Structure 1
């Protein structure tokens, strides 16, 4: 297996698995009513089917880097895809809610290993001068998966059965496993570090509890006092992890990496930026279906321009970053994202379809440029020996930011909608317009997070500028 073959096919391997994971994360939401009818339960009782997947991701991601270092990227990534595919079959065969929940938990464990380990293989395979192009290719499935999920799910449920939603993963998973066997390099850590069991328990329990609270945010099934207590517990667990990690030689997540300026700005700045962007998947369907009165399938189709623009972005992003640099791109592009979010307040009953499509294209282009920039900048100054740890930390923060973003969208929508009946289309539309403006302001302000960058930051990636020799090289077999 030559380096040329690995570089040619590895992005396809990672992109295929990532698309399967991201699509599955959202496709099930559309099928909830059909699943509930089939299993003879109420739709609300299926909340555990959605949250169980999120919890598994929160628990599994922190340990993924350690597993890749210990057992190798090829084995861990291949097993992750196998677990995900097998769990998909179990989901499709489930005859009860507990069976479905258990299968989704298992599916989440497989999914938790895919993103950080796949990205780790990309980082260790491509030199920094080629990393942006490779990451651009891989990031597209992560952007279009959540957009296609509701549309594809609705069509499958309408024409076939909700069980087919999970069975479609089988051929994709088999192809992905074959590609892993042929083209996935087997990188391992240069030292055998012990598993930080205490840290794993503290961090995983804290992030899982926090993710769960954010996932059910706004529901009335949890008393405010209980929710507040659980929030305090989750934060206490995470603080306890920080204290624990600072005093041992091999922590689960080495937070000292956040001292690297580019890594810190990319990870924490990305976290803040996603607070505004993460609310759009919740708000846009409300605008299209309730505000404009469109059926679900038409609402899904209006998300397609965003996916197309995201794919087109990769043709120009490298040239933009080479011309303007990461600091200027991230500070200005974040403002453009905020303005685009605010422009959705112009969409109302009778609005031109051209306006909606243009806003979708703008959203897809700016979001894709933003995420490609943040995801590559994070590794600009990280040594090869720290890439596994950096990938795990970055993935953990991204998982939390997705939950925070969805909670932010729910909070803003709930604040402006209040007790407005959904039958009052005009008032609902006005309230949603206010929500878009609020998220727009939050996103524009988040551009301040990138002011800490220097003009030359990230040039090792955007321009291929030579950097100091790495402290240690990865081991591949």
Structure 2
């Protein structure tokens, strides 16, 4: 397969698949009332339709790296898109809430294999000096998908039927499957390793339960005692996996990779950063609709400028990183993200629309630069044979961080809104302002993690040159 052709098509393939996966994570939310009416159930009973997709991601991501090493990236990616597309059809045809929940779980499993396997193919195809450009292209759908989801879902439900939300995936999925078969490189692991079934059970059950608890956080369907017990049990499962992984030769996720300093800082720094950023898709619609009194469609449009800025960022990021390096960019940019989140704490009914658009543009630019930088830094010092494992670990932490981020947004909103009546726009706006400031402080604190980077970290990617070995002492 011609290398230049692969490099041309591969970023488009991965970007399209990630956009489908990220869009479907949120597109259903605004359609829940219509789906409930059509299926003859209450909207609250459809919470499982949303959470089952998250559970599918949490269970499927850990095993995706092993499958890619064993069966090849092309076959696994092709099957993943096929499962996702088939599950989309089943969702659109579902006659009951129970069958839709099963179909959404299957859809989540397909999406789970897309994200890490697609990223693995990108890392294996592009040399480190070209990785930034490829990752910049791929990261944009992951950023704009959650922002566009509620808007797209609302417009589709308004114009047609809620079932079209799922059928729209079919033509994209079929085209993607054809292109994958023609242009997707087929990478496999150097040596086949056995599947860590016990580790898969421990880690998948722990992450699935924790993601589910975070997804329903703030609801009263579970007592505080039951929630605390389930939380302790999920953490216990994850701790059990960490102990299990340290004692066997071929663990599901080789956590010893976190000893690589740049990989560890990228994964943990990204996790903490997403705690603040992840709450924005939850808080911004509340600010626009409850605080400013805007209709849902205008609220959705105000989130669009950040997507435009995210696309523009890919032209700037390589030059910025080459000039200043990862350490300075990530520390300074994390603070900038905190500032933009804090600026939302000053948005009120009298704020000019242009000012809100400018804040949204800033948010999209800084967020895109942040995630592009973190995702590429993760592979700066990872050996070629460890890229599959690194991609799986990174994707697993990202999935958990998204759930934690939404939970953080829910927590601060519930804390400050308290007993404030939603009909009192002034009090609602004031409470939401405090929530934004709390998330801003949390985000700024994560800059301290990136402070531990060294000046030359990531030069193999940002400046196309390797760092001398003596600059990186062996870690115990």
Fold match (TM-score > 0.5)? yes
The answer (yes or no) to whether the contact 2:276–2:443 under 8 Å persists in 1 is yes
Q: C-alpha offsets along residues 4-32 of structure 1, whole Å, 9 cap, x if unaligned?
A: 10011100110111111111111110100
Alpha-carbon distance between aligned partners in 2 of 1:440 and 1:326, rounded to the nearest angstrom: 21
The 3-state SS of whatever aligns with 1:187 is coil
Q: How does 1:347-358 map to 2 (within 5 A)?
A: 347-358=347-358
Question: Residues 100-149 of structure 1: CA distance to partner in whole angstroms, max 9, x if unpaired?
Answer: 00000100010000000000000000000000000000001111111111
Distance across 2 between alignment mates of 1:32 and 1:359: 30
Describe how 1:155-194 pairs up with structure 2 within 5 A.
155-194=155-194
Determine the C-alpha separation between the residues in 1 that align with 2:418 and 2:151.
28
Residue number in structure 2 paired with 1:473: none
Look up the match of 1:447. 447
Q: Distance in 2 between matches of 1:45 and 1:294?
A: 28
- Provide TM-score, normalisation by structure 2: 0.98
Structure 2 partner of 1:131: 131
Question: Which residue of the partner structure matches residue 4 of structure 2?
Answer: 4
Give 2:472's aligned residue: none
1:234 aligns with 2:234: yes
Whether 2:437 is the aligned partner of 1:437: answer yes
- State the aligned residue count: 469
- Deviation sequence 1:178-218 (CA, Å, 0-9, x none): 11011100000000100000100000000000000000000
**SS of alignment partner, residue 350 of structure 2:** coil
Root-mean-square deviation (Å): 0.8
Report the Cα offset of residue 466 of structure 1. 3.2
Query: Counterpart in 2 of 1:385?
Result: 385
Tell me if the contact between 2:459 and 2:467 (Cα under 8 Å) persists in the aligned partners.
Answer: no
Task: Name the SS of the counterpart of 2:27 in structure 1.
Answer: helix
> Partner residue of 1:466?
466
Counting only pairs closer than 5 Å after superposition, residues 22-421 of structure 1 correspond to structure 2 as: 22-421=22-421
TM-score norm. by structure 1 comes to 0.98
Partner Cα separation in structure 2 for residue 219 and residue 181 of structure 1: 44
Distance 1:85 1:467 in 2: 43
Deviation at 1:350, TM superposition (A): 2.3
Runs of 4 or more above 3 Å deviation: 466-469
CA distance in 1, matches of 2:250, 2:444: 38
Is the 8 Å Cα contact of residues 456 and 467 (structure 2) preserved in structure 1?
no
CA-CA distance at 1:370 after TM superposition = 0.1
Structure 2: how far apart are the matches of 1:20 and 1:210? 24
Contact (CA 8 Å) 2:283, 2:409: kept in 1 or not?
A: yes
Ranges in structure 1 where 5+ consecutive residues have no aligned partner: 470-477
Instruction: Tell me the residue number matched to 2:474.
Output: none
Which residue is 1:475 aligned to? Answer: none
Which residue of 2 is the match for residue 474 of structure 1?
none
Task: List runs of 5+ in structure 2 lacking aligned partners.
Answer: 470-476
C-alpha displacement at 1:467, in angstroms? 5.7
Structure 1 residue 463: deviation in Å? 0.3
